[in-house]
A and B are shown apart, each in its own frame.
Chain A
Amino acid sequence: EAQVTQNPRYLITVTGKKLTVTCSQNMNHEYMSWYRQDPGLGLRQIYYSMNVEVTDKGDVPEGYKVSRKEKRNFPLILESPSPNQTSLYFCASSLSGTWVTGDTEAFFGQGTRLTVV
């Protein structure tokens, strides 16, 4: 089954404690992206990756890191989480090239609800 898998689904952590949210897709997609969803703000892009070893900042990259060492995985790293990073996070993947032209569908993970206290 084609899917994007995020882990964990729920996470409560303390300020400053490094954490990683994993994202894996089994569709051989080249393009992957991270979004955060906050009430009234919709989805805002954090980082995206056009292919292995190619990443770039989205609209709200501050406080986040990503890496793309393999095509299927795109982890989101919070080196020193703060309460303003409490949010619902989504990973998405899509075919590269066609994503750039817009003519494609994005597949989303189930989401990770992060609370930083």
Chain B
Amino acid sequence: AQSVTQLGSHVSVSEGALVLLRCNYSSSVPPYLFWYVQYPNQGLQLLLKYTTGATLVKGINGFEAEFKKSETSFHLTKPSAHMSDAAEYFCAVSIGDMRFGAGTRLTVKP
């Protein structure tokens, strides 16, 4: 069965600094991988997804993620954090069903 582990329940960065949110997956077959963002009092929105093809995936708001099969990872990055990036981020894996990680809350300091 597939599963997702997000390393770090809370990440804090300064505005303008690199954002790195870690996600490792477990799957017996090649997975589809997703990152979702949840702003306060809202539902989840898709940031980006990896299905097949290019392993570096670009999403909305300047985020990107790289699928590394050898490391079973799908880390989310953004070169320069904005205050508006403060939210909770969920990594998800899908093979017939979608499983979510526990989430990482990103705080951006001025």
- Report which A residues bind B (CB closer than 8 A): 4, 33, 35, 40-45, 48, 90, 92, 99-103, 105-106, 108-111
Contact = CB atoms under 8 A, between A and B. Distances in A.
Contact of B32 (A43, A45, A90, A102): A102
A110 B42 contact: yes
B96 A102 contact: yes
A14 to B, nearest CB: 25
Interface in B15-32: 31-32
Contacts of A41: 102
A38 to B, nearest CB: 9
Contacts of A105: 34, 46, 49
Contacts of B98: 33, 45, 99, 102, 106
A43 B43 contact: no
Nearest to A58: B97
Contact of B96 (A92, A100, A111): A100
Contacts of A109: 43
Contacts of A43: 44, 90, 100
Contact of B102 (A42, A45, A48, A103): A42
Nearest to B96: A100
Given A43-B100, A102-B51, A102-B98, 20 more contacts: A33-B98, A40-B9, A41-B102, A42-B6, A42-B90, A42-B101, A42-B103, A43-B90, A48-B97, A99-B98, A101-B96, A102-B94, A102-B95, A102-B96, A106-B34, A106-B98, A108-B43, A108-B44, A108-B45, A109-B43
